[in-house]
Homo-oligomer: A and B are copies of this chain.
Amino acid sequence: QGNPEVMEWLTVSTLSIVVVGASGDLAKKKTFPSLLNLYDDNLLPKHTRIWGFARSDMSDEELRDRLRPHLTGDHSKEVVDRFLARCVYRSGTSYGDQDAFTKINQDMEEYERDHQDVKHYNRLFYFAIPPNVFADTALAIKKTSMQDESKGFTRLIVEKPFGRDLESFEKLNKTLAEHFTEDHMFRIDHYLGKEMVQNLTVLRFSNIWFERVWNADNIQCVILTFKEPFGTDGRGGYFDKYGIIRDILQNHLLQVLTLLAMETPVKLEGPGASRAIRNAKVAVLNAIPPVQIEDVVLGQYEGYADDPTIENKDTNTPTYATIKLSINTPRWYGVPFILKAGKATNERKAEMRIQFKDPPAASFLFEGEGENYCPRNELVMRMQPDEAVYMKTNVKSPGFTAKPIQSELEVNYDTRFFDHQKEANPDAYTRLILDVLQGKHAAFVRDDELRRAWEIFTPILKKIENENIRPVIYKQGSRGPIESDNFIMEKAGYIRNEDYVFHEGGV
């Protein structure tokens, strides 16, 4: 877990964390549990204190009681208690209540004064609040609690949504940018914290056999998939305003795409790496033209509008979307990138799938009846349900015949690493908060990335709304609209190998 030198900051700084919106779902389910994970792994500074802040009136103990049910996992009760002892609660009249923040600031200063032996006095604000109050909170922090840079850092963690479209993003961004620079800001897209996504750069750049096939000469298409087996479950009111494109494609899947498609950054580690990586990511985004309507399949699951929290019973909000993107670079010219996400489908799955082209000699070397006699290689990097990397590879049918059949060369993370070596697979939030503490920006979304992401998606989003484009209705628990499968075959040239059976008892 890092070499001693690098981790020196753990002992020579205080850390004051303010979780703004401490009473909300996000704070309870993600922020505090992740902080606990870091705490239990000794990855928070020795001198760390946490202020919960929200509008509700609550005692410290009440906050702790609300948090406790979510602090599950592999932690001893004693650790949880010690962790909670560091958490206190403060309330304000609003998320922009400057008086309240002034008081928190006094608390923090007092805490910092108590630790005169350390070098840095760092402050972290976690915005577990809706974007409409970002501006007020930011202003209050700016006016009351900014740390002088020579004393220590002041960092803000911000959660999506970052707007509904280009205009709203720009407006929202402007309110933050007035008070804080990009250096202060860490916009979380938790997909960037997933093991397999973080693995992408290592896989791509430390293996020559990845490097050589990672281009349009060899790749037929790339498919990024997110599926979940449940619908809105009574939270459709919020969802209906955003839809699956904003919820999953424009951020999570597009972020994954940039890491998969970017050119090699100059650095991956050390000073300058974050900037290099985000430069490389934004270069990919700049090369993607805005989505056109003919490159979109929209679906809505049967019964979606029955969710009582959805007001517009004639809603056309998609719960399923398949979108083809292109990347205008020499590396990717002509390669379709498919983003696909759906709710209420037949399974929980998040994966990156790269289908390669037919090997040049295959069609005349191997005698066979069908088109698929010699199936195509596919590289699958699975994020959910469990993490694995496998390359679908043709081998000789064992025994007397020479017909190629498809097997997989695989590494399964559970069996290879997590079971055997007793290492934990930390969750995405935990990883990302640690990055914030270490000042690593690479896994956070920069303003220019977001701007370009919205430029790519805003026109199609507007068109869907303005022209009331209707989604295809699909059954709950199905694969989604059949139109999506057809679209992928036709537009991406994807060929499904019907003979392939994933090896159950295997890796």
Q: Is the CB of B267 within 8 A of A276?
A: no
Distance A158 CA – B270 CA, assembled complex (angstroms): 35
- Which B residues are CB-close (under 8 A) to A209? 209, 212-213, 218, 356, 377, 391, 393
Distance A407 CA – B206 CA, assembled complex (angstroms): 12
Residue A176 interfacial (CB < 8 Å): no
- Which B residues are CB-close (under 8 A) to A1? 399-401
How many chain copies? 4
Contact of A359 (CB < 8 Å), options: B207, B218, B395, B426: B207
Q: Is the CB of A410 within 8 A of B409?
A: yes
- Which B residues are CB-close (under 8 A) to A213? 208-209, 212-213
Residue A263 interfacial (CB < 8 Å): yes
Distance A75 CA – B507 CA, assembled complex (angstroms): 31
Taking residues whose C-beta sits less than 8 angstroms from the other chain, chain A's interface range is 35 or more
Q: Is the CB of B390 within 8 A of A361?
A: no
- Which B residues are CB-close (under 8 A) to A283? 266, 279
Q: Is the CB of B270 within 8 A of A367?
A: yes
Q: Is the CB of A195 within 8 A of B396?
A: yes
Chain B residue, CB-CB nearest to A356: B208
Residue A358 interfacial (CB < 8 Å): yes
Q: Is the CB of A409 within 8 A of B409?
A: yes
A333-375 residues at the B interface, CB under 8 angstroms: 333-334, 356-367, 374
- Which B residues are CB-close (under 8 A) to A431? 400
Residue A268 interfacial (CB < 8 Å): yes
Chain B residue, CB-CB nearest to A361: B330
Residue A199 interfacial (CB < 8 Å): yes
Q: Is the CB of A206 within 8 A of B286?
A: no
A473-507 residues at the B interface, CB under 8 angstroms: 503, 505-507
Contacts A195-B398, A407-B416 hold; do A286 and B266 have CB atoms under 8 A apart?
A: yes
Residue A425 interfacial (CB < 8 Å): yes
Q: Is the CB of B286 within 8 A of A393?
A: no
Measured between C-beta atoms, what is the minimum distance from A60 to chain B in Å?
Answer: 30
Contact of A394 (CB < 8 Å), options: B207, B279, B331, B424: B207
- Which B residues are CB-close (under 8 A) to A267? 364-365
Residue A178 interfacial (CB < 8 Å): no
Residue A420 interfacial (CB < 8 Å): yes
Q: Is the CB of A503 within 8 A of B416?
A: yes
Q: Is the CB of A409 within 8 A of B390?
A: yes
Residue A2 interfacial (CB < 8 Å): yes
Contact of A426 (CB < 8 Å), options: B201, B212, B360, B400: B400
Distance A269 CA – B434 CA, assembled complex (angstroms): 42
A253-312 residues at the B interface, CB under 8 angstroms: 263-270, 272, 276, 279, 283, 286-287
Q: List 20 A-B contacts (CB under 8 A).
A: A199-B395, A203-B393, A205-B359, A207-B377, A208-B357, A209-B356, A209-B391, A211-B330, A212-B218, A266-B283, A266-B286, A267-B364, A269-B365, A330-B360, A391-B409, A399-B424, A400-B434, A407-B416, A408-B411, A420-B503
What is A's interface to B at a CB cutoff of 8 Å?
1-2, 41, 43, 195, 198-199, 201-203, 205-209, 211-213, 216-218, 263-270, 272, 276, 279, 283, 286-287, 328-331, 333-334, 356-367, 374, 376-377, 389-391, 393-396, 398-402, 404, 407-411, 413, 415-418, 420, 423-426, 431, 434, 503, 505-507
Known pairs A201-B402, A399-B423 / 9 extra A-B pairs, C-beta < 8 Å? A206-B366, A208-B213, A209-B209, A269-B365, A398-B425, A399-B424, A407-B411, A409-B411, A506-B507
